[in-house]
Amino acid sequence: MTEDLLKPYVIGLDLGGTNSVFGIVDSRGEIKATTAIKTQGYGNNVQAYVDAAVEALQIIIDQVGGISKIKAMGIGAPNGNYYNGTIEFAPNLEWGRDGVVPLAKLFSDKLGIPVALTNDANAAAIGEMTYGVARGMKNFIVITLGTGVGSGIVVNGQLVYGCDGFAGELGHVIVKENGRDCGCGRKGCLETYCSATGVARSAREFLANSDEPSLLRELDPEKITSYDVSMAAAKGDKIALDIYEFTGRLLGESCANFAAFSSPEAFIFFGGLTKAGALIMDPIKKAYDENVLNIFKGKAKFLVSALEGSSAAVLGASAVGWDIQK
Amino acid sequence: MTEDLLKPYVIGLDLGGTNSVFGIVDSRGEIKATTAIKTQGYGNNVQAYVDAAVEALQIIIDQVGGISKIKAMGIGAPNGNYYNGTIEFAPNLEWGRDGVVPLAKLFSDKLGIPVALTNDANAAAIGEMTYGVARGMKNFIVITLGTGVGSGIVVNGQLVYGCDGFAGELGHVIVKENGRDCGCGRKGCLETYCSATGVARSAREFLANSDEPSLLRELDPEKITSYDVSMAAAKGDKIALDIYEFTGRLLGESCANFAAFSSPEAFIFFGGLTKAGALIMDPIKKAYDENVLNIFKGKAKFLVSALEGSSAAVLGASAVGWDIQK
């Protein structure tokens, strides 16, 4: 057994637009220590961000016995490029907005351990494969339903990164010809319908296009959130239930097309919208069965992430750290 | 060097609904000997088909120095399942229509060499990677434009077979909501528009929906083929050119969605429709550029197979034979 195999931990960093959350994680997915810093406040000085991060990290590294116990670090970050260890033109990061930031190298130089970086949805997929419901699976797709819609695709047991490190952008598959305007500059992307913000847009549309009474009419339409829709649906509100039906159907129809690509063993959903449970999962499964090619019928499982909760993203990121050792 | 590496040939079998074409191929993709038999005429007796095939094969095997020179056999066949070496419910094969036929095992038992089998579009993709324009590529998509539309997807240098061996059915991605009826029982599949038969359907639609003069009006609408459309387009016929524009645009828009999945280095087109050259390739590229997500723009090449011609399918199948040795 080499010395390396005796190192029992990896560091996971869930790098979000607001907070950067760090965890030191063992091979079974137990978080041994955790800390956080603000992601912003360093202007465009990424080195200052890394210095502040490592200062905070050092405290929890010492708690677990020092850097000699740490095998690697994994980072899940917006616009993360796995091949280059870079964050590229990330609109929500003040130090990552205008170019290509070699974040993996900056952390690796400072800590003296290997560091890998990928986007948040890919980290979620590796997390599911390492600690979650995808253990033992070789072909599956994770779809993250958050502010946007992201995805991490695994084929033959490997993350699909494509020729440039950016594969797996299923939130930007166009599902409606001349559909809703998307932040990416195009129209009709899956994300414009099936993200949390998409659900809120649906609510405004559904309310405007019908006279049906609804609890949602008591709210300022411009301020309705997907959480409001879920609360109304839980009370049996017809329009809120119709919105989930609509959202789930679109997801199910989209998954039927994704099956023609990689015929996955499972679709795994991750993020806030999955809290609606059967309200969203039932129409997904129904629309999938109605739309998928015959040869794929009944083969794919529809699962909700087992890593839900605030630690999920850290676990996913840490799994990227284990992964670079393979 | 093991004895195995001294065996310089593989057998390729292009198994079509009408003919079964065999080639003995060296590692550079040169066909050393070739033969063929009819695929039908054996009723549901697949063993009789295999016996007839091996009888014909034996002659060309002897020509190259006997079975000891042959490393393996690869088969490209409709509804071929790579994982199991089976042909499953293939509607156009009288001995393969009603169940699961273990064709790889039947040939392997009879010839005493390893035999692998996959569907024809996957064989084309392995052929491009082994002998064709995809040599050295790790991420690409082959789209076959024949009677139907097939696809072979390569990710991380490996064919995407999915959980069941049937991944890569991009001809059955739904591209138009409530679109044309497809043989698969659903509506709006890519294949209903962009196959040779799809192009003929477009011709009938375009002629019915316009008063534009056209050379195609001289033909019986029910008998128009994609070849007629290509002949008319070559003469500058407006409706024929519009049909290519329409077909190419749909392919380009579809490829833009496929890029979000696996971000390939190249899309490689294979089959009869590619003979139209720029008439089909230009609208594909234009629609792709207009529709693909910004981060993918300008990255993918659009190529036409270098394996065109009657030997392409045999070469593709033979490449599957090399592949099982890895």
Q: Answer whether A215's CB lies under 8 Å from A237's CB.
A: yes
Question: Each residue of B8-59: pLDDT tens digit?
Answer: 999 999 998 889 999 999 988 899 999 999 999 999 999 999 999 999 999 9
CB contact under 8 A, B258 and A261: yes
CB contact under 8 A, B296 and A166: yes
B82 pLDDT higher than 90: yes
Question: What is the full DSSP assignment across A109-136?
Answer: HHHSS-EEEE-HHHHHHHHHHHHSTTTT
Residue in A with minimal Cα distance to B137: A163
- Mean pLDDT across B240-251: 97
Question: Each residue of B164-213: pLDDT tens digit?
Answer: 999 999 999 999 999 999 989 999 999 999 999 999 999 999 999 999 99
A97 pLDDT higher than 60: yes
Q: Answer whether B109's CB lies under 8 Å from B50's CB.
A: no
B226 pLDDT higher than 60: yes
Chain B nearest CA to A167, separation (Å): 5
Q: Answer whether A258's CB lies under 8 Å from A269's CB.
A: no
Chain A nearest CA to B124, separation (Å): 16
Residue A148: list chain B partners with CB under 8 A.
none
Question: Each residue of A264-314: pLDDT tens digit?
Answer: 999 999 988 998 899 999 999 999 999 999 999 999 999 999 886 667 889
CB contact under 8 A, B293 and A162: no
Chain A nearest CA to B130, separation (Å): 19
Q: Answer whether B178's CB lies under 8 Å from B219's CB.
A: no
Dihedral sign, CA of A98, A102, A104, A108? Answer: negative
Q: Choosing among A295, A297, A301, A302, which should be mutated to test the B contact, i.e. which has the most B CBs within 10 A?
A: A295
Cα-based distances in Å from A118 to A55, A127, A196, B85, B111: 23, 12, 23, 36, 48
Spatial strand order of the sheet with A149-155 comes to A158-159, A149-155, A140-145, A266-270, A301-304
Chain B residues contacting A via beta carbons under 8 Å: 138-139, 153, 155-156, 158, 160-170, 172-174, 176-177, 184-186, 253, 256-258, 260-265, 291, 293-296, 299-300
Chain B nearest CA to A2, separation (Å): 29
Identity of the residue in A155, A176, A300 whose CB atom sits nearest the CB atom of B155: A155
A90 pLDDT higher than 80: yes
Q: How far apart are the first and last CA of chain B?
A: 15
* A:B CB pairs within 8 Å: 131
Cα pseudo-dihedral A83, A85, A86, A90, rounded to 10? 90
Q: Which of A309-313, B245-249, B266-270 has the lowest mean pLDDT?
A: A309-313
Q: Choosing among B170, B293, B297, B299, which should be mutated to test the A contact, i.e. which has the most A CBs within 10 A?
A: B293
**What does the alpha-carbon distance between residue A242 and residue A155 come to, in Å, rounded to a whole number?**
34
**What does the alpha-carbon distance between residue A32 and residue A43 come to, in Å, rounded to a whole number?**
31
Domains and CATH numbers, chain A: 3-127+311-323 (3.30.420.40), 137-304 (3.30.420.40)
**What does the alpha-carbon distance between residue B118 and residue A317 come to, in Å, rounded to a whole number?**
37
**C-alpha neighbours within 13 Å on the C-beta side of residue A21:** 19
Chain B nearest CA to A111, separation (Å): 30
Cα-based distances in Å from B308 to A34, A216, B233, B275, B321: 58, 60, 21, 9, 20
**What does the alpha-carbon distance between residue B268 and residue A150 come to, in Å, rounded to a whole number?**
27
> Can you tell me whether residue B140 is helix, strand or coil?
strand
Where does the pLDDT of residue A6 fall: very low under 50, low under 70, confident under 90, or very high at 90 and above?
low
Question: Each residue of B309-324: pLDDT tens digit?
Answer: 667 889 999 998 887 7
CB contact under 8 A, B263 and A156: no
A1 pLDDT higher than 50: no
ipTM rounded to 2 decimals: 0.90
Q: Answer whether A289's CB lies under 8 Å from A255's CB.
A: no
Identity of the residue in B163, B257, B300 whose CB atom sits nearest the CB atom of A173: B257
**What does the alpha-carbon distance between residue A272 and residue A171 come to, in Å, rounded to a whole number?**
15
Q: What is the pLDDT of residue A306?
A: 81
Q: What is the pLDDT of residue A5?
A: 54
- Mean pLDDT across A244-261: 98
